[in-house]
Chains A and B, each alone.
Chain A
Amino acid sequence: MTWQDRYPLSFRLYPYTRSPDQDAGQTVRHSVTIVGGGPVGVATALDLALRGIPALVLDDHEGVGQGSRAICFAKRTLEIAHRLGCGAAMRDKGVIWNRGRVFHDRDEVYSFDLLPEDGHRYPAFINLQQPWFERFMVEAVDRAKAQGAPIEIRGRNRVTGMEATADGVTLAIDTPDGPYTLTTDWLIACDGAKSATRDRLGLDFDGRVFEDNFLIADVKMSADFPTERWFWFEPWFKSGASALLHKQPDDIWRIDFQLGWDIDRKTELDPARIRKRIDLMLGPDVEYDLDWTSIYTFQCRRMDRFRHGRVIFAGDAAHQVSPFGARGANSGLQDADNLGWKLAAVLKGDAPETLLDSYDTERIHAADENIRNSTRSTDFITPKTPQSRIFRDAVLHLARHAPFARPMVNSGRLSVPATYDGSPLNTQDALPGGPARTRPGAPCPDARLADGSYLLDHLKGPGFTLLVLGATPPRLPTGLPVLTLETAANPQLRARYLGEAERALYLIRPDQHVAARWAACDAGKLARALDRAQGKAP
């Protein structure tokens, strides 16, 4: 039987080669196997491999599919990618943007500026086509592998069946050379919104399906529109109930039109019909080519739990949001960031298996935040009831002349990393006057240091770090590195980590989230916080 791909590729990144497992004569056992070679799967594998944990990725294609799909990547994602070795390439290729404008009919009713803050290596957002994002990440895999990292991506390895037990999972895999099986101690399911792994375990989703269709048209044109996100409610050009225009690299522009629920997909995907909508928006004299088109619907929902014994779900397989706010791929990368160090610690025997339950707690907290934000945006963009519509229109009407209504205009609240408030890994805040943005559970904001380097570069682990600012460190547990920094000449550090405090000690997790902070701390407190952050003590 000849091999059938489900979709055409943008980039062929990991061609099928026959693996020794297929000729082993017996079922080979792996440590961690990741199903799905998308951004979340590859990031998880790369994170694990860079920590010395062998990671095998199975993907049923040989590379990344066509279509720009996720195009907005947030600062936190780029910081994670930086640690994995591909952040700079993404930023250099991406389009950096800061301003968004929202129009109602012809009039601008609201604008926002992401107000770039000094002292960050990465901008608040870049736009980059998903295939490029994945390509840069796979190139980082190739570099890591060349340096001996235990990582492998197997293209055209399609999982066709699985059996999960208490201590592992057996997978049936199909390849162009025929089937084979392997077993794995741990399985990470990164197989997307339609996760077959989820179906095989008989698990379902809770949440809302939104009854609306959105048409994506990526057009190639040399236009001198500014590098801004433009969103229209009830646009004057009538191409959709709402519309979006946003720039990508290589003169590609993302255009979205809201079509409504009752549509005929085939009719709407007719290029002539799509061009008619675009012509109304851009005017008849603008020349462009259609690069990629698609119609999407979406859900805001998540699994009840992300960890099911030895099977752990991440990214779209575990939770889905509407695209407004760029909270899909960005939250998936944070899943990978959260899971990598924990699973590595468990596999190395440094932490109990129960540490993995905190992945559930923390990432469900994050998923709920993302779902809440993207549901609210969706309710504003596509009101569900006549009253909801009346109030939406009232906000848009008022926003023209009443400043208070402008922040209520909701065309998407952009992705920010979750702060894990209430996480069992946190130690209670003991830094009076400390800034809220660096409270326990928060992701560390970057800062420029005196020698020109960036703070996050010094918090790359592989383990925990004690950050000491003007304080005296206690006697340290074995193997805990200390980063002592001068704050006198660094207002960024003071504003972000001291606030009104004069000195501070921060215990920072391998994923650059704050585990604990104190004005002063002794060896006992530090040891207890470290144990708690590794799931060893309550």
Chain B
Amino acid sequence: MDAKIPAGPLSEKWSNYKSHARLVNPANRKKMSVIVVGTGLAGASAAASLAEQGYKIKSFCFQDAARRAHSVAAQGGVNACKNYKNDGDSIYRMFYDTIKGGDFRSREANVYRLAECSASLIDQSVAQGVPFAREYGGYLNNRSFGGVQVSRTFYARGQTGQQLLLGAYQALMRQVNTGRVSLHTRHEMLDLIVIDGKAKGILARNLETGEIERHAADAVILATGGYGKIYYLSTLAMGCNASAIWRAHKKGAYMAGVSWIQIHPTCLPQSGEHQSKLTLMSESLRNDGRIWVPLKADDNRNPNDIPENERDYYLERRYPAFGNLAPRDISSRAAKERIDTGHGVGVMKNAVCLDFSKAIKEQGEKVIEEKYGNLFSMYEKITGINAYKQPMLISPAAHFTMGGLWVDYTLMTNIPGLFALGEANFSDHGANRLGANSLLQACVDGYFIAPYTIPDYLAGELKAEKITTDHPAFDEAEKKAKQQLNNFLSVKGKLSADYFHKTLGKLLYDKCGLARNKKGLEEAIEEIRNLQQQFYRELNITGDDKVNTELEKAGRLADYLELAELMCEDALSREESCGAHFREEFQTPEGEAIRNDKDFCYVSAWEWNGADQPHILHKEPLLFESVELTVRSYK
């Protein structure tokens, strides 16, 4: 496993790389083509930036427009160590916060580069017209977020992701207008074309006509986001999927950190069997809300009727120093523990109370309304409950995947010519992501890293033979893809794709979610295999092979079912607790995580070895030269 980390001191690695990266002559650039799958922050920014340099880009997304990718939904903000507040922020401090937040399971060099490029991202976005919050003097405002001690989070109200994405989308549209980018919306990637060991194109399905299209290129970028939707109930968009990266994985690309999935503590609980989505409520609510459950298990009283002495403020009790502001993974886990022991509230007994009565008493309803008015009205819109009068009910929900395709320092997977950007790769967040770092990573990958590393790769491909779409590799891939689609349509069983998705999601949430253990994971693998068999036996897809949401779902689910098994496999093999990965066997008597740096200070990169064959584990050791490994404690 060669991560190709450049030589030199940590702070000079990226400059060294940039100074020595190969270039492509401007006259040659228009002869080189790159496929970019996904039009979220990472995809759109990479496609636009490369097109600006003069390369021919083909951009794909499954949504009806490039502006709809799920980056749009990020609320909180984007981190950058501008040190505008003169509060001691620096590249090193940001690097350290990120690597510690990731529980020391990410690469030093990558994380340092992320911090290093963060400042330029704010410059770039402002130039594009992103309306970040401003102070009255006209300078950029920022705030402290996610428990760090400095203010480095830039924001555009509660819609930072939307505004950053529109900036990238507009840059992309500008390039579409120049003719350098051809845009393919309502297209889904079905397979990666690998020829002589190099990524040379993709197979995509036009989701309107059903036609299977062949696209050849000199390099392929996958910027297809995370796969948290595997849990079915999550904060993700309905269409978020793992299919692009999983199909690349089956063509030889390694998957890393597969089971590291962040579960966000403050989401709206499931309220009925037919729910499809758990909406995220901003974490900022925890600044004034107190989290509690009834002391008595199976308490059916209305939360307002439960007297003070019968309430268990479990976060304040367990983590007196941080209380209700304990980090995401810790508060999610604590909530699940209470819910599992029967202390949950709400119709489905699956939530905990987030209570503002004390804050309202102390600060007045007006102040609380100023701070959180929009969130309270959103809560009322969805649940019909007035949170000024009753505690909010919240529960944890799957949110972000730290894992993804393994990439080296240049964001290239182990398949030459195949790059993975943004949430689709595993690289920067280790075992746990810090708030407001996901927008940053997606943008930095697309605006500042890929525009150097991809030309470096393409420079070596100038003389390579041009692949055309009549290459036998396309024939073979198309044959397989058609076979799979026909297969889905012809099973004609009794159960819908959603049934399998919901079943899989529940199973994973219980056994490979917030807390995992050996027995549960082994059971889960067994159950997933059974579910997979049932899927191919009893699936029912109605309709034709043209516009057919159900057919799309089936393809994504087939991949999820395989990925789910690897998730459990990954979680099983990592016999330690780190970040989002909490193995019940590895905890202190007080229930805190025990990380094992002696045996597990590596990245697990898994190689596909054929269906029905176990994955092969490759280990990329993590070497820490600039930081000392410490225990993450929030007591």
Q: A and B: real partners?
A: no
Mark A residues whose CB is within 8 Å of B: none
